[in-house]
Amino acid sequence: LKFAAMDFYYAQPLSVLSAMVGSSRDGCASASISDCPIRLSRDQTELIRMQRSVQRFLDSRMDGANDRKYAVQALVNDDFFQDTVIPDMLRQLVSYRHSYSLGIAMVLGIQDYLPQALQKPLRTLHYYGISQPFDACAHWKTLFAAVRRMKAPEMAQLVQKLEAVVSAAVNADLSFAESKGVDIRALVRKAAALIADPEAQPQDDDKDKDSGDDDNDNVQEEKVKTQSVLSSKRIRTRTDMENCPFLLFDKDSSDQMLRALDKCCGYIESVLRVCLSSYQTVPLHEIFYYRHSLLLDTTFSPQPRAAVQAALGKTQYYIDCDCCKSTFQNSDGLGGDEQDSGEHHRIMPSMNDTSIAYRLHQECGRMINLYDWFSAFSSVVEQEDSFAQEGTSQSEIQARFLRAVEEMRFLGFIKSTQRKTDHVVRLTWGM
């Protein structure tokens, strides 16, 4: 977490905006956004305008005349953009965070009615909510399959629990859900009243649910079909189960109660669908949501083989050695990119013995002859004798070679074989 926080603040030039937003648990965070004294530079302002979420936010404000003027001023006036537009977007972001936290709390309440094996920890729920729209994951179907099987007492307990969760978030800013056409507090209270007295609700209450439907004939047809299913005859056909699955699990309740259970399930589903919508629908999400998981995996996932191979192949960068570079420059006199490309393939006598043996073994096939390997190693090491006053004895070269071979065997690059006693088997490829 500390590494991710450091990368967020050092790699993201717009992380200064995080100082303008309080914690998601702070109910007054959205009210004090515009009071922040931070002033952005010209480059930072242009960088914020270039974000796709900001462009979508301004495009959505191009409908009316006043909104069009708002969008134009946001594009041409830096002071208006900083003093008005950015606080508006941050308030929407904070409101989304409050709605999302409330949705996760409601999911935890629903999970209490699931078997222990189907309950998910909080970390997994956040993973579902951030990695994809929550209603697209398999756990969404599991939750509402359990809700649809609830009888009246269980549904009453669930609605009471959800009402307590919403009441606890009294300072939460739920304007994000209201902008989507969903009043969370009103729907939860409506569900509680519906379960408490289902017979007091009017029969045409489905108009609220189907108000956005343009085809009135289809709406009336569905109402007639539902009323026929909920009639006193209680005919259980496959079509009835597909349209009203709650009839399959509760055969003792009255028609009004079954109707109320179905509506409560619809209310809960609509609330959670809005609360747990994707964060990518919110402006400035590119700045406030950290998505560099690949960097964390690369940094903290152990890769011993790649690290050892890189160290043996580029020894001078690990031990801060300049002798190999100077030897290469003196021998070839090359520079620039040509020097860098040849340096990785040439074997220098000043390299570490294990590095020399490693580079030589990369030129071999699956079976490595120890005598040929030693001959090549000796020819490389003896090149250093021309620069030294005293030559290296053959026994010392042989001892250095044996030590390098044993180190490579310990690191897992080679192993002995019973087929040919004077050969070893190469175990690694690539790099």
Burial of residue 60, with CB atoms counted within 10 A of its CB: 0-12 exposed, 13-18 middle, 19 or more buried: exposed
Rounded CA gap, 192 and 188, in Å? 6
Q: How confident is the model at residue 332, as a pLDDT?
A: 43
pLDDT digits (tens, 9 = 90+) for 122-169: 999 998 888 888 888 888 888 888 888 888 888 888 888 888 888 888
Q: Report which DSSP code applies to 156.
A: H
Question: Sign of dihedral through CA atoms 142, 145, 150, 154?
Answer: positive
Rounded CA gap, 359 and 355, in Å? 6
pLDDT digits (tens, 9 = 90+) for 301-315: 777 888 888 888 777
Rounded CA gap, 391 and 216, in Å? 101
Q: How confident is the model at residue 26, as a pLDDT?
A: 41
Percent of the chain with pLDDT over 90: 4
CB neighbour list of residue 115: distance below 8 Å, 6 or more residues apart = none
Q: How confident is the model at residue 325, as a pLDDT?
A: 57
CB neighbour list of residue 96: distance below 8 Å, 6 or more residues apart = 176, 279, 282
Q: Which three-class secondary structure state does DSSP give residue 414?
A: strand
pLDDT digits (tens, 9 = 90+) for 351-400: 888 888 888 888 888 888 888 888 888 888 877 655 555 667 888 888 98
Q: How confident is the model at residue 105, as a pLDDT?
A: 92
The pTM score is 0.65
Rounded CA gap, 91 and 85, in Å? 10
Report, as ranges of residue numbers, the positions in the chain whose pLDDT lies below 70.
22-38, 64-66, 198-255, 320-345, 384-391, 430-431
